[in-house]
């Protein structure tokens, strides 16, 4: 137990940057990955880069209705695979006599075990989840960060990757800076008229 805080601290150091600076945000992971790959191709120190997904959500895609037949078929197939695996292990450590009978018996025992186990598992749910699905945690946006000491060089390289995006990003930054300056001036004017 005493090593867990040490491992957590070490993992945090590996996943964190000392003074991270945002380079850009992307709508998909593929776009963020493309940007980091481009930086790597240009021999940028990508060990100081991080992709952070924000606004996480779980997406579950229902893929079909779950029936007793499907459950039993799945249990049967997985049981057969377990039987084949056990049979091969026995064959490796035992002589060649009766190999076929041992393989058949382990496959049959595995199939029965798989059927029973799947049926018991399905019956224990009481029909509360009679569908199959696949789920994944996805982010709404992906932000690429780097250490502050590399930020300027990284931005220059990313400008080469997508000049249109670079121009839009510069426009967005200058608009944000102009808004901040206007708000500062409005506060100063408000303070002067109050005196």
3-state helix/strand/coil string of 159-195: HHHCHHHHHHHHHHHHHHHHHHHHHHHHHHHHHHHHC
Report the greatest alpha carbon distance in the chain.
104
How far apart are alpha carbons 98 and 93 in whole angstroms?
Answer: 13
Name the residue with tokens 């049967």: 76
CA-nearest of 71, 75, 25 to 51 is 25
**What does the pLDDT read at residue 143?**
93
Query: Would you say 67 and 86 are in contact if contact means Cβ atoms under 8 Å apart?
Result: no
Q: List, for residues 17-36, the tens digit of each pLDDT value.
A: 888 998 888 999 999 999 99
Q: What pLDDT is attached to residue 9? A: 55
Spatial CB neighbours of 115, under 8 Å, sequence gap ≥ 6: 72, 75, 76, 79
- Positions of the chain with pLDDT under 70: 1-14, 95-96, 191, 193-195
The per-residue pLDDT for range 57-77, each reduced to its tens digit, is 999 999 988 888 999 999 999
């Amino acid at each position: 137990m005493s090593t867990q805080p040490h491992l957590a601290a070490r993992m945090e150091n590996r996943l964190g940057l000392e003074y991270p600076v945002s380079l850009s945000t992307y709508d998909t992971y593929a776009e963020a990955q493309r940007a980091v790959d481009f930086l790597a191709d240009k021999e940028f120190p990508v060990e100081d880069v991080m992709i952070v997904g924000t606004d996480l959500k779980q997406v579950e895609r229902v893929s079909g209705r779950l029936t007793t037949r499907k459950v039993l078929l799945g249990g049967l197939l997985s049981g057969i695979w377990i039987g084949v695996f056990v049979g091969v292990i026995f064959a490796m450590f035992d002589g060649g006599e009766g190999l076929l009978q041992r393989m058949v018996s382990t496959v049959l025992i595995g199939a029965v075990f798989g059927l029973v186990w799947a049926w018991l598992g399905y019956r224990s749910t009481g029909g509360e989840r009679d569908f199959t699905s696949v789920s994944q945690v996805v982010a709404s946006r992906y932000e690429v960060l780097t250490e502050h000491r590399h930020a300027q060089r990284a931005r220059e390289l990313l400008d080469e990757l997508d000049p249109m995006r670079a121009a839009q990003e510069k426009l967005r930054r200058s608009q944000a800076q102009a808004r901040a300056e206007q708000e500062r001036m409005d506060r100063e004017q408000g303070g002067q008229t109050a005196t």
